[in-house]
Chains A and B, each alone.
Chain A
């Protein structure tokens, strides 16, 4: 039993991290109708920038404290992500308004290549560490409930908590601030939003910026778990089933979808994997999403698709 709970909790933690990446997809899709394939590259880019600045800053400024160095690195990276967002809007998106979905998808794939190339040219292409002082030692919980208790990684726990805080903050931002309201208006209808005086281009920069910040958070958490390396950008492919499962337009969908996929993946790998040779988690997530889609084509929380001739 305790093994099952451990698997379940492990799945939930991974799921939370998938949600973080998925959130980036959803934000951009909602606000601009662009399915941003570059989200994975943004995670890698942000993590690379963060890791390298945290490494360089103590040497440049002579700061001893790890916390301060990390803080400065984060601030600089946020600045860089803002520049990236601005450039993407200026150079690519602005010229691609009203193109069909496939063209936009391919354009973001092009942006992915550019980001991968620039990131690795500027920051190097080895494996780097991010050390934000997360505790690595596992703890044992629920000893009273089960024999032997449940083994949990503290790191996972903190990561999940950070993810939850980020989600809550984003929800508040979307619901309560004027900018958030403008974002939702743009998501509903571009033209109507324009006609009441909402500046579309600025909104897009903001959205890409917010997506960049979620990418940074995801990058820091994944990076401190697995090390910052090129394979980090494939995390986007792992998060895709989450997005379609939850619905492309729904923030809660991204979170619940992430949890479902995280748990499903872990449980299938542990209980089903040994019979078929292992390594099934990646396609299992997609199959799971596919089965859901057959019953609800718009995802769990997506907007209902209405066809009119």
Chain B
């Protein structure tokens, strides 16, 4: 009844090409963004901001980047953590080495550096594909893990590769309280997701999808595989790099290379696959799932233990956590291999008919 596009006629090309063609969608997204900016700050406490919301926003951005590459261009990558690290450390270097560097500028330049590195490590994709490529991208992961640990110049000669930034301010506003951090990340995320949403329905996004569906056929109809694949690597790495810089600057404050280890790369790929390959919306679902699930398990397991009268040690809790996490992932892949985004769109189909059966 409520969710139906009947009667919404498009009378201009502009109306025909908007991002959300259905009025209810438009309204819903606007309300959601407004709620995130205005409503959420009144509802949640500092712990929620720090432990859940800020990580969720930043990792959504990263998984959005990975989704552009894996979901839209079909190039599997296991090196996303490395590009986050490049973004964070490059941003750090710009911040401390260039006098009067604005924080936002450093973060964006971190993203640009990650994009440049992404292009270099995307070159193998011109020759190899599929799983071979996935393993090849691991080279980036291990190389940068090593580089930030051993090459002292990157970390300004700090011993263990740990660096820190302080006194962030953007356009004169100080980013120090959880609320301001949240709003800053949210703004970056909204702007960049809007850009991504537009990108994937523009020429370049369509080229990526053609390459994903069948690269030889795409080349035959005149799409340059080199250009399409490398731009996908560049754009994706930019997003991931910006997310990495945010993760370092805003979320952690001080960090070391281990913050961007290979586990992070796996985590990002999980988000994309559980959320839904080739769906902007899916990136957010996936990030939410992966961020919230461990926290939820951590809270709920001792409670369960208490019910059955068993004292569960912290080590056992963490083992159970990874066990349940692993089985849930397998379970999700089995019941919905196309990810949470598919569940969402089936839900929308159902809503369209509701309350009638046909």
A96-B333, A96-B334, A103-B333 given; A240·B327 CB < 8 A: no
Between B145, B277, B330, the greatest number of chain A beta carbons within 10 A of the residue's beta carbon is seen for B330
A135 an interface residue at 8 Å Cβ cutoff? no
Mask, B145-157, CB within 8 Å of A = 1, is: 1100111000000
Interface size for B (C-beta < 8 A) is 48
Assess whether A309 is interfacial by the CB under 8 Å rule.
yes
Chain A: CB-nearest residue to B126: A294
Interface of B is mostly: helix
User: Are A117 and B319 in contact, with the CB atoms below 8 A?
Assistant: yes
Q: How near does chain A come to B332, taking the closest CB pair, in angstroms?
A: 9
Q: How large is the interface on A (under 10, 10 to 19, 20 to 34, 35 or more residues)?
A: 35 or more
Residues on A with C-beta less than 8 A from B131 are: 35, 101, 105, 244, 248
The answer to the question of A169 belonging to the interface, with a C-beta cut-off of 8 Å to chain B, is no
Cα separation A293 to B138 with both chains bound (whole Å): 14
Question: Taking the complex as formed, is A5 at the interface, i.e. its CB lies under 8 A from any CB of chain B?
Answer: no
Within 8 Å by CB of B124, from A91, A96, A294, lies A294
Residues of B within 8 A of A276 (CB): 150
A113: contacting residue among B70, B146, B151, B323, CB under 8 A: B323
By a CB distance below 8 angstroms, the chain B residues around A158 are: none
A289, chain B: closest CB distance, angstroms: 7
- B241-295 at interface with A (beta carbon < 8 Å): 262, 266, 269-270, 273, 277
When chains A and B are docked, how far (Å) is the Cα of A276 from the Cα of B146?
11
- Is A110 a contact of B138 with CB atoms below 8 Å? no
A106-B337 Cα distance, complex, nearest whole Å? 11
Q: Is the CB of B337 within 8 A of A279?
A: no
Contact with A along B319-352 (1 / 0, CB 8 A): 1111111111110011001000000000000000
B217 at the interface (CB under 8 A from A): yes
Tell me the bound Cα distance from A308 to B214 in angstroms. 10
A134 within 8 A of B: no
User: Do the beta carbons of A109 and B329 come within 8 Å of each other?
Assistant: yes
Which residues of B are in contact with A by a Cβ distance under 8 Å?
A: 70, 76, 124, 127-132, 134-136, 138-139, 142-143, 145-146, 149-151, 214, 216-217, 220, 262, 266, 269-270, 273, 277, 315-316, 319-330, 333-334, 337
A binding-site residues for B, Cβ under 8 Å: 35, 91-92, 95-96, 99, 101-103, 105-107, 109-118, 120-121, 125, 237, 240-241, 243-244, 248, 276-280, 282-283, 286-287, 289-290, 293-294, 297-299, 307-309
- Between A and B, 14 residue pairs with Cβ closer than 8 Å are A105-B134, A106-B269, A112-B326, A114-B323, A117-B323, A118-B323, A125-B319, A248-B132, A286-B139, A286-B142, A286-B143, A294-B127, A297-B132, A309-B216
8 A-B pairs besides A110-B327, A244-B135 with CB distance below 8 A are A35-B131, A114-B322, A114-B330, A116-B326, A117-B319, A117-B320, A287-B139, A309-B220
